[in-house]
RNA sequence: GGUCCCGUAGCCAAGUGGUUAGGCAGUGGCCUGCAAAGCCAUCAACGCCGGUUCGAAUCCGGCCGGGACCUCCA
C-alpha cells in the first residue's frame, strides 16, 4: 500500500515515491537551543519521530537529519546578557533537548548538524549565489538574497512576492542587534549573511568570510546543512507551520538559487498545538516543558499519547485532563499485553480467530498510517484489535501459543511506530525493589486470607496495597499486582 | 487587507456522499466472595439557515463562532 503525504507545496495528498527507496532523505528543522524546549516543540519533534519510525516500518532505508540552531539573535542576546559565549548558552540547552527526546522515546536522528559547524558550507552557498546573480553585498558587510532574481519566490507559502508587506517590523524594534536593521536594496530581501556587530564578537558569534566578518542569516544554515547531508535534491523536509514563511520559502530560494536544482520534493508542516484551549505563549505561562509536566505527575507515555491522539495537521488541544485519559487508555494496552503473556496456551490447541484478527489489525493499521500518518485512526485500529482479541480470549481457553505470540508481535509491531508501550512498560515496571517485595508478601498473605474465607482481612490487605499505589487483580492464573 | 484551517455526542478525537470509528467518562448485565481486569449491551453526534442529490456530518452558498500564518515562535 502506498504512503500518502500532504505536501505543503501542492497543498494536496501525494503518493510518496522517494528518489531512492534504500535511502530516503529527511531533513527536520530542529530546535533553537536558547531555552528549554516546550510541549509545542515536541508536537513537531514527535511528529518527526512518527515519520521516521513509519518510513522504517514501511521498509524504507532512512537518513534522518535534524539540525540544531546554535547561533541566532536570541542566543546572542542571551549570551550577551549573561556575559558568556553563545556556546555556553547552547550547550546546556542542547543537552536538555536530547534528554527530552529520550524521555519521549524519539528515535535518534542519523545526524544532528549544528549551524556553527557548517559555516564553510554557508560561505560556499553564498558565493555561488553571488556568482549566479542572486545575492548582493551591503555596505555594512551583510549579504542579501535578491528576491527579484528568483521568479518562483513565494510558491511554497502561496504569496506574491510583490504583496509581502514591505518593511513590516523593520527598524521599529527596540534593542541594538535586530537582524533586519541592516541595509537592503529591497525590504523584502532577506539576509544570507549579517555584517558583524560588536556584540557578535563579544559572544563569539563572528566568522571571517571573503566579504568580511559576520554571522549567518537565519535561513542559510538549513540550506547548508540539509544539502551537505542529503544532496541538493532530497525527499522530505519538515517543520512547524510557522516555518513555511519565511524560513522554508527562503531556504528554497537560496538552495535552488545556488544549486540550480530542485530542492525538496515533499514539504511537511505540523500545526501548532493549543494548551488548555489557548494559544501557547511564554506570557501565558502555558509553554510547559517536559520536566514541568513530569513534575506535575504526568507520565512521558501520556504526553506522547496525547500528542499522537490528533492528526499532525489538525488542531490539538494539549489539556491536562487529556493526559489523565491517556494514562487510562495506556493501562488498557498494558493490561492486554500482559494478558497475552500470561495466557495459558497449548501447542495442540486449535488456531483461533486470533490469527485472522491480527492480520486484519496490521492491515488496517498500515492503511491508517498510509493516510498521511493518521494516528487517531491507527490508535482506533489498536483498540479494536485489543477488544476483539480480549473477546476471543474470554471464550477460548487455552489458545494456541502461535496465535498469542502473533498477537503480541502485532501489538509490538504497531508500537514500533507509535512508541507508546515501549515507554509505558518501563514506567509500570518502575517499582522500587522493597516495595515490590512488600507487595509480593502482602498479595500472598491476602491469598491465604481468601483461602480461609477471611474476606474482611483480604479486603483490608487490598486496601492497604492500594494505599501504596498497588492494584491487585485476581485472574484465573492467580492473583497479580500492578502499579496503578 | 492577503493566505488558510476548524466547529462531530459529557470530554478528547477519526470519518468527508449511503454500512458501529476509537479513547475517556456514564448506565445495565455477565464474570468475581466482593472487587479489579475483561466481555456484552446501552446512552449520546455531526454550529445555524438555505441549496444540490434518490440520499449530506460529508458537496455548494450564506450566516454565526473559534483559530493559524503574513520577517526569525515548532
Instruction: Give A350's DSSP letter.
Output: P
Is the separation of the CB atoms in A428 and A483 below 8 Å?
yes
**Interatomic CA distance for residues A349 and A5, integer angstroms:** 43
User: For residue A325, what are the domain limits?
Assistant: 278-429
Distance in angstroms, CA of A375 to C1' of B9? 21
**Interatomic CA distance for residues A170 and A182, integer angstroms:** 9
The predicted structure's pLDDT at residue A346: 83
The predicted structure's pLDDT at residue A163: 56
Q: What is the mean pLDDT of chain A?
A: 91
ipTM here: 0.95
Q: Which of A189, A190, A179, A253 is nearest to A223 (CA)?
A: A253
CATH at residue A397 = 1.10.730.10
Question: How many Cβ atoms sit within 10 Å of the Cβ of residue A144?
Answer: 24
Is the separation of the CB atoms in A161 and A153 below 8 Å?
yes
pLDDT at A172 over 50: no
On chain B, which bases lie within 7 A of the protein's CB atoms?
1-6, 11-15, 21-25, 32-40, 66-74
Residue A219 sits in the same domain as residue A132: yes
Residue A265 sits in the same domain as residue A283: no
Residue A425 sits in the same domain as residue A437: no
Residue A90 sits in the same domain as residue A214: yes
Nucleotide nearest to A272 (CA to C1'): B74
Confidence grade of residue A12 (pLDDT, cut at 50, 70, 90): confident
Residue A299 sits in the same domain as residue A264: no
Residue A197 sits in the same domain as residue A306: no
Q: Of A227, A245, A270, which marks where a domain is finished?
A: A270
Q: Which of A128, A121, A120 is nearest to A260 (CA)?
A: A128
Here the cell at position A142 is 551583510
Residue A204 sits in the same domain as residue A129: yes
Distance in angstroms, CA of A444 to C1' of B18? 58
CATH at residue A171 = 3.40.50.620
pLDDT tens sequence across A194-213? 999 999 999 999 999 999 99
Distance in angstroms, CA of A421 to C1' of B24? 18
Q: Which of A324, A307, A313, A340 is nearest to A419 (CA)?
A: A307
pLDDT at A173 over 50: no
The number of folded domains in chain A is 3
Residue A344 sits in the same domain as residue A479: no
Amino acid at each position: 500500500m502506498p504512503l500518502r503525504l500532504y505536501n505543503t507545496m501542492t497543498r494536496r495528498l501525494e503518493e510518496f515515491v522517494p528518489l531512492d527507496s534504500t535511502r530516503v532523505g529527511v531533513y527536520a528543522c530542529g530546535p533553537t537551543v536558547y531555552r528549554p524546549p516546550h510541549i509545542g516543540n515536541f508536537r513537531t519533534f514527535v511528529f518527526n519521530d512518527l515519520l521516521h519510525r513509519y518510513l522504517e516500518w514501511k521498509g524504507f532505508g532512512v537518513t534522518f537529519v535534524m539540525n540544531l540552531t546554535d547561533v541566532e539573535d536570541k542566543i546572542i542576546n542571551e549570551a550577551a546578557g549573561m556575559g558568556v559565549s553563545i556556546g555556553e548558552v547552547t550547550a546546556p540547552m542542547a543537552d536538555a533537548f536530547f534528554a527530552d527526546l529520550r524521555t519521549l522515546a524519539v528515535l535518534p536522528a542519523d545526524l544532528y548538524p549544528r549551524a556553527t559547524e557548517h559555516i564553510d558550507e554557508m560561505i560556499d552557498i553564498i558565493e555561488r549565489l553571488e556568482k549566479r546573480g542572486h545575492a548582493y553585498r551591503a555596505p555594512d558587510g551583510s549579504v542579501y538574497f535578491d528576491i527579484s532574481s528568483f521568479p518562483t519566490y513565494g510558491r511554497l507559502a502561496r504569496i506574491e512576492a510583490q504583496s509581502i508587506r514591505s518593511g513590516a517590523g523593520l527598524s521599529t524594534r527596540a534593542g541594538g542587534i535586530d537582524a533586519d536593521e541592516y541595509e537592503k536594496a529591497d525590504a523584502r530581501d532577506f539576509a544570507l549573511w549579517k555584517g558583524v556587530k560588536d556584540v557578535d564578537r563579544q559572544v563569539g558569534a563572528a566568522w571571517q568570510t571573503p566579504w568580511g566578518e559576520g554571522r549567518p542569516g537565519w535561513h542559510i544554515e538549513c540550506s547548508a546543512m540539509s544539502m551537505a547531508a542529503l544532496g541538493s535534491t532530497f525527499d522530505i523536509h519538515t517543520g512547524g507551520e510557522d516555518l513555511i514563511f519565511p524560513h522554508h520559502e527562503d531556504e528554497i530560494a537560496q538552495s535552488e538559487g545556488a544549486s540550480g536544482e530542485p530542492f525538496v520534493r515533499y514539504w511537511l508542516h505540523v500545526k501548532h498545538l493549543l494548551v488548555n484551549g489557548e494559544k501557547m505563549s511564554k506570557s501565558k505561562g502555558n509553554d510547559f516543558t517536559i520536566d514541568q509536566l513530569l513534575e506535575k505527575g504526568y507520565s512521558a507515555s501520556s504526553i506522547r499519547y496525547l500528542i499522537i491522539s490528533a492528526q499532525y495537521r489538525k488542531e490539538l488541544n494539549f489539556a491536562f485532563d487529556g493526559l489523565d485519559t491517556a494514562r487510562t487508555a495506556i493501562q488498557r494496552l498494558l493490561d492486554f499485553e500482559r494478558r497475552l503473556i500470561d495466557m495459558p496456551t497449548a501447542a495442540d490447541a486449535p488456531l483461533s480467530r486470533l490469527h485472522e484478527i491480527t492480520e486484519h489489525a496490521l492491515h488496517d493499521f498500515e492503511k491508517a498510517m498510509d493516510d498521511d500518518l493518521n494516528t487517531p485512526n491507527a490508535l482506533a485500529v489498536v483498540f479494536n484489535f485489543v477488544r476483539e482479541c480480549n473477546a476471543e480470549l474470554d471464550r477460548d481457553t487455552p489458545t494456541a501459543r502461535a496465535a498469542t505470540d502473533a498477537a503480541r508481535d502485532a501489538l509490538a509491531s504497531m508500537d514500533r511506530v507509535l512508541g507508546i508501550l515501549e515507554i509505558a512498560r518501563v514506567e509500570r515496571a518502575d517499582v522500587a525493589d522493597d516495595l515490590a517485595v512488600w507487595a509480593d508478601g502482602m498479595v500472598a498473605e491476602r491469598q491465604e486470607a481468601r483461602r480461609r474465607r477471611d474476606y474482611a482481612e483480604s479486603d483490608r490487605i487490598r486496601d492497604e496495597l492500594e494505599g501504596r499505589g498497588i492494584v491487585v487483580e485476581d485472574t484465573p492464573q492467580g492473583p497479580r499486582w500492578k502499579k496503578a
